[in-house]
Amino acid sequence: MPKTIGYHFVKTTYGTWLPGDARGHWSSAWSMKEGYIEHRQRHEGQSEREVLAVDSMRHAAVTLTPEVQLIIENEIAACQKESPWKIAAAAIEPTHLHLLITYSGRPIEQTARWLAARMTQAIHRGTTHLGPVWTEGYWGESIADESHWRNLVGYIERHNIERGLGPRPFSFLT
């Protein structure tokens, strides 16, 4: 079995990438009947799923403003200082974030929950927002191949370039 070298972690904001969203959604990318469903393509039944998801929302959708993105950036930097892992690439978008995290021996599930909780607490301390910030769960994949790792670095860096930030805009990146 190949050795894990890291994880690609994606967290979406509450109410912005719902199941059925035309951009795709990590929770709707898998079907028990069909297996993996191509990301960012609409599939049969998704529009109904989106309507149900919107109807079940108890809070307004969250978009990360530049102020909140800075809070997240600072909290990720603080978390990294306390952790055995490093972040090789990151993008903090208005509706989601990507982190490429080196392997540390800690399960990605534990790291994902801890990061989400810390970012939420920082946002609640630094803004008037008190509701949920993130959707439940996360999307993550284990990386065991160097070429896959390099491709993900480029993919995440392109997110930043497309926003005019340059490929590596965060001081916490290793």
Distance separating alpha carbons of residues 27 and 17, to the nearest angstrom: 10
pLDDT confidence tier of residue 42, bands split at 50, 70 and 90 = very low
Distance separating alpha carbons of residues 55 and 75, to the nearest angstrom: 32
Residue 80 and residue 86 in contact, taking contact as beta carbons nearer than 8 Å = yes
- Indicate whether 169 pLDDT > 80: yes
* Domain spans in the chain, listed from the N-terminal domain onward: 6-15+61-162, 26-56
pTM: 0.79
Residue whose C-alpha is closest to residue 85's, from 7, 168, 152? 7
Q: Report the pLDDT value the prediction gives residue 71, as an integer from 0 to 100.
A: 98
pLDDT confidence tier of residue 37, bands split at 50, 70 and 90 = very low
What average pLDDT does the chain have?
A: 83
DSSP secondary structure string for all residues of 9-62: EEEEBTTTS-TT-TT--GGGSEETTTEE--TT---TTHHHHHHHHHHH--S---
Lowest mean pLDDT among 11-25, 40-54, 106-120, 135-149: 40-54
Choices 2.60.120.380, 3.30.70.1290, 3.30.70.20, 1.10.3720.10: CATH for 6-15+61-162: 3.30.70.1290
Residue 97 and residue 91 in contact, taking contact as beta carbons nearer than 8 Å = yes
Strand partners, 56: none
Compute CA distances 5 → 101, 103, 160, whole Å. 9, 5, 23
Lowest mean pLDDT among 49-63, 86-100, 158-172: 49-63
Q: How many CA atoms lie within 13 A of 12 on its CB side?
A: 19
